[in-house]
Amino acid sequence: MFTEQRTGELQKVSLELIGEARRLADELGQEVIAGLIGKDVAGLTGGLISHGADKVYVVDSPVAELYMTEPYTKSIVAIIEEVKPAIVLFGATSIGRDLAPRVAARWHTGLVADCTSLAIEEGTGNLLSTRPAFGGNIMATIACPDFRPQMSTVRPGVMQKLDADPSRKGEVINFDAKLTEADKTVEIIEEVRETTKRVNIEEADVLVSAGRGVGGPDKFQPLEDLAAVLKGTVSGSRATIDSGWLPKERQVGQTGKTVRPQLYMACGISGAIQHLAGMEESDFIVAVNKNPEAPIFEVADIGVVGDLHKVLPLVTEEIKKAQLAEANK
């Protein structure tokens, strides 16, 4: 699997991929091998091993300091040549979506993009990759029986990372991918970081999620207040995004992000199947809805039937009181 790091920081999706790779490898009786590319990235290997990798192939080169398609493609292609894996996984991130098709084309193999689940087919041992198709109206399961390696990109937030086990042992291999300056087919003159604070709802531990039931863009205060006391983030259903109440990056669901927070609070969300697909794996789900028949209650651990504009301020007040009591202990 390809390990994604940016400016020396491991991306959460990499640990999720290792967790999934571990599960698949155990089923096949194979090893989990992480490919790590960058400059001065050796410090990240311990975290990869403690989260489930058996071996880490490190390509450490000044040429690979910043992500660039060609040097990274060359490195991954060379690692595949060396280890001959059955399966190669990438995060379905902007980097993974750029890199994986190139690698697949160089190996003349198939790639299933943007998967939401992976399984091993009984008997053949083939990888079965499932992803939404035809505008999200069906789930397609795709296999690549004739070519190797089998390749998939996996949506961030879908797979579960394993807890770190610092006692796990693994091997680190410094791999020479023979990168040279000539591999840089583009020159990065300047890197400009976006200054507006983009919210990554996939990383949040607590999501207070808005549905059409909130009632309008000027009615979010109770959700903002609750998110503030819970150190959480406000996300939303597609109805709130389509109405322009929240930016697209905050959409939860089949055509939005898949999230798995510790706490997901669905406020005025009916619980359509396309919404549930993005949040039903959350650790604990609380739903507030006026309609006792709303399907969201079927996946909720706690359901409150009521007007969210009345319920949420009361919940926020109670949490504040509890936090104060805790602080004064």
Ligand X SMILES: Cc1cc2nc3c(=O)[nH]c(=O)nc-3n(C[C@H](O)[C@H](O)[C@H](O)COP(=O)(O)OP(=O)(O)OC[C@H]3O[C@@H](n4cnc5c(N)ncnc54)[C@H](O)[C@@H]3O)c2cc1C
User: Which two three-digit tokens encode residue 284?
Assistant: 């604990």
Q: Could you tell me the smallest distance in angstroms from the CB atom of residue 229 to ligand X?
A: 19
Q: Which of 71, 91, 110, 278 binds ligand X (CB under 6 A)?
A: 278
Q: Is 252 annotated as a binding residue?
A: yes
Asked whether position 239 contacts ligand X by CB under 6 A, the answer is yes
| 261 beta partners | none
Q: How far is 252 from 237, CA to CA, in rounded Å?
A: 6
The three-state secondary structure class of 214 is helix
Binding mask 12-41 for ligand X (x = CB under 6 A): ------------------------------
The reply to whether 307 sits near ligand X by the rule CB under 6 A is yes
Output b/e per residue, 218-253; b: 16+ Cβ within 10 A.
eebebbebbbebbebbbbbbbbbbeeebbeeebbbb
Between 32 and 241, whose beta carbon lies closer to ligand X?
241
Q: Is 259 in the site for ligand X (CB under 6 A)?
A: no
H-only helix segments in the chain: 12-28, 45-50, 69-83, 94-106, 221-229, 238-242, 273-279, 296-299, 308-327
Rule CB under 6 A: say whether 238 interacts with ligand X.
yes
Residue 248 within binding range of ligand X, rule CB under 6 A: no
Decide if residue 274 touches ligand X (CB under 6 A).
yes
CB of 93 to ligand X, least distance (A): 18
- Residue 243 binds ligand X (CB under 6 A): no
* Residue 158 is a binding residue for ligand X (CB under 6 A): no
Note whether 89 and 2 are within 8 A (CB). yes
Q: Which residue type, as a one-letter code, is found at position 73?
A: T
Is 126 annotated in a binding site? The answer is: no
| Of positions 170, 211, 222, 232, contacts ligand X by CB under 6 A | 211
Residue placing its CB nearer to ligand X in the complex, 165 or 242: 242
Cα 232 to Cα 72: distance, rounded to the nearest angstrom: 35
In angstroms, give the least distance from the CB of 245 to ligand X.
10
Cβ 271 vs Cβ 220: under 8 Å:
no
Going by C-alpha positions, the residue among 100, 142, 136, 104 that lies closest to residue 258 is 136
Choices 34-42, 47-55, 97-105, 290-298; region in contact with ligand X by CB under 6 A: 290-298
291 sits near ligand X (criterion: CB under 6 A): yes
Cα–Cα distance between 145 and 117 in angstroms, integer?
18
Q: Sheet holding 55-60: strands in order across? A: 2-3, 33-38, 55-60, 171-174
Furthest-apart CA atoms within the chain: distance in Å? 65
* Residue 99 or 308 with smaller CB distance to ligand X: 308
Q: Which long-range contacts does 273-277 make (Cβ < 8 Å, 24+ apart)?
A: 274/136, 274/238, 275/237, 275/238, 277/116, 277/253
Rg (CA), the chain: 22
Cβ 269 to ligand X, closest distance in Å?
4
Q: Which residue number, 74 or 257, has a Cβ lying nearer to ligand X?
A: 257
Q: Could you say whether residue 265 binds ligand X (CB under 6 A)? A: no
The answer to the question of whether 213 is labelled as a binding residue is: no
Told to check if 258 binds ligand X by CB under 6 A, we report no
Q: How far is the CB of 34 from ligand X (least distance, A)?
A: 30
* Stretch of residues binding ligand X (CB under 6 A), selected from 44-52, 78-86, 101-109, 132-140: 132-140
Residues at the binding site are 212, 237-238, 251-255, 268-275, 289
Chain residues in the site for ligand X (CB under 6 A): 135-137, 211-213, 237-239, 251-256, 268-270, 272, 274-275, 278, 288-291, 294, 307-309
Residues at the binding site for FAD are 212, 237-238, 251-255, 268-275, 289
